[in-house]
Amino acid sequence: MARASGGGGPAFFISVVAVCVLWATAAEARSPAARAHRHLKRLNKPAVKSIEFRPAYHPEDLYDEAKSSIGSSNAGEKPMLQLWHQNGRCPEGTVPIRRTKKDDLLRASSIRRYGRKRHNAPNPMSVDPNMLSEGGHQGDKYYGAKATINVWEPKIQQANEFSLSQLWILGGSFGEDLNSIEAGWQVSPDLYGDNNTRLFTYWTSDAYQATGCYNVLCSGFIQINSEIAMGASIFPISNYGGSQYDISILIWKDPKEGNWWMQFGKQYVLGYWPSFLFSYLADSASMIEWGGEVVNSEPDGTHTSTQMGSGHFPEEGFGKASYFKNIQVVDSSNQLSAPKGVGTFTEQSNCYNVQNGNNGEWGTYFYYGGPGKNGNCP
């Protein structure tokens, strides 16, 4: 509101001009382009020195790490890398952050929702009441999980769909109070703008409503590692009938500090989720899950051909179907052990399916995945 403080016309004119400029500036600041620019500046911060912080405790392993090490399943082949390593590495004491571009924000439904799952995102697969009532879940406490995950590049039919393979650390009633820590690999054109297979994490403390995000796109996960970037492309990936590659992910709760830590492969401790982010997970997890997930947008009421895993059904086996192996849980004594009472669940077995097993080399494992739309999956 303009207000004249003197009796002359010029003073009034100057005051009006000043207010007009201020209003124009405020309107400009509220524009989508300005909001996007501010958000990009927050996400793409300059390099800063990392905090030297390490977990006080590390779980004791059940299996020989040589059986589930990061990299190729074929001896003598090069280890798993991220594509950005071809252009150099981060200076010591800094952490790599994938640069967010303007186009990334424009693909999102809103700037506020960028980097978050949709509000109506499906809860983990175990919301099925039959799974919740199975033995080995109710009343148990878990303090982490581990898996070696076969890496593929599934085809995505619609840009707003994704395909991922991950582990879930879960707490809560699977309603609006669900706590979840998630990590694995995903292909998501909507989030990243391409079809590359990327390492990712996610967290939420209220069932994907208002808290949490992918990777480091909001406050939450604190990265300490200078070698591995969240959201960066994984290389190489497995080939159908050819070389197979996998990644090893371990997430565990530090019994001293209470934070949830993530390790990639044998040597890369990537960072942690502070305990204060969560309610239920501030104590422990009540369920652990491993598996694949796809979003089916159902254009024209039919299932899309978005693939899960390798895009092939589990019965095809090694080299053709995707797998998880050496899946383990961290117990109250900070020991890694084979999970008990493992059940399997799939929503549409004609589109995607799962088969589990156990042996001396792979421990508890399963093959999973499928092509999506096919003759039996309309």
Instruction: With beta carbons less than 8 A apart as the criterion, state whether 165 and 246 touch.
Output: no
Please give the Cα distance from 289 to 125 (Å, whole number). Answer: 8
Helix (H), strand (E), coil (C) string for 148-168: EEECCCCCCCCCCCCEEEEEE
153, 161, 289, 293: which one is catalytic? 293
Of 77, 61, 82, 221, the C-alpha closest to 148 is: 61
Instruction: With beta carbons less than 8 A apart as the criterion, state whether 142 and 330 touch.
Output: yes
Query: Is residue 17 classed exposed, middle or buried when 0-12, 13-18 and 19+ CB atoms within 10 A define those classes?
Result: exposed
Q: Which helix (H) or strand (E) holds 192?
A: helix 189-192
Annotated catalytic, 153? Answer: no
Two tokens, residue 74: 């074929």
Of 243, 234, 246, the C-alpha closest to 326 is: 246
Please give the Cα distance from 80 to 72 (Å, whole number). Answer: 7
182, 257, 298, 316: which one is catalytic? 182
- For 353, phi then psi, to 5°, come to -145, 180
Rg (C-alpha) for the chain, rounded Å, is 24
Assign residue 220 a region: left if phi > 0, alpha if psi is -120 to 50, beta otherwise? left
Annotated catalytic, 293? Answer: yes
By annotation, the residues acting in catalysis are: 182, 293
